[in-house]
Structure 1
């Protein structure tokens, strides 16, 4: 295959690029079947962070079995992608939830809307998810 290993640390730039790319989160349902859903993400150092509702399919799956995988990709030739696989940790501290909901919302929708998204996605039942012990795969020039 034509995959080229990305330079060391390149994945951080790719994940935090503007405009922001939507991640595709993979989890395992209670019955063992896979579930993939879109997530808005941000970085806290080398830790991938996103928010979700604890009662959503992904929230329940993460609470039960913390194994997750997220893929972000560039759909333009010559194509590139990053996959992050690891253990998810749930943080339900209301201040952290509100902070990350606003930061992530502002990242995707514009800084002028950060407070709106902090309010909208920072309420009861919402949690912050951090992917720990992550294995990163980053490939560039996939089609060359």
Structure 2
């Protein structure tokens, strides 16, 4: 993907998968969890979570995280970013929480969600991360080549 393509892709409302180092128990495997996130091109990633969660504790300790987002419809695409935590908002700004809810839910659902979870404002914090490393893939060209090969006479895998 080009720089602008990856920025637009990451800015679209997709569920991300957050990864953070998890040294508990010597496992050396990262904690990997789905998460809502916010992003504007050339900006920072923002994620929200409870202050006392394992995610938050690990993010504070590691000081960095990765986020991967994908398009689950063919042709498949993904963007993965990694970078340092640049700030922690504790407690979270209500506007950040509202923006995330509106990003992922229809207007009525967002209002209902925010009302039903208003008490979380006291427990939630937000982490911001500036992407340093980007990894991207867009399999559109591969899919087009594959489709062309399959469309050629005698090249569709059938015999006779």
Instruction: State whether residues 84 and 136 of structure 1, in contact with CA within 8 Å, keep that contact through their aligned partners in structure 2.
Output: yes
Matches of 1:39 and 1:82 in 2, distance apart? 15
Question: Contact 1:102 / 1:117 at 8 angstroms: preserved in 2?
Answer: no
Compare CA radii of gyration and give the structure with the larger one.
Answer: 2
Q: 1:70-120 CA distances to partner (integer Å, 9 max, x unpaired)?
A: 0001122221100010112321144x2x11111111111123343444452
Q: RMSD of aligned C-alpha atoms?
A: 2.1
| Partner Cα distance (2:34, 2:102) in 1 | 17
Alignment of 1:9 with 2:4, yes or no, is yes
Aligned length: 135
Displacement, 1:129? 1.1
Q: TM-score, normalised by structure 2?
A: 0.74
Higher helix share: 2
Which residue of structure 1 lines up, in the alignment, with residue 123 of structure 2? 125
Instruction: Note the residue ranges of structure 2 that are not aligned, 5 or more in a row.
Output: 143-160
Q: Match for residue 14 of structure 2?
A: 21
In structure 1, stretches of 5+ residues that fail to align are 1-5
Q: TM-score, normalised by structure 1?
A: 0.81
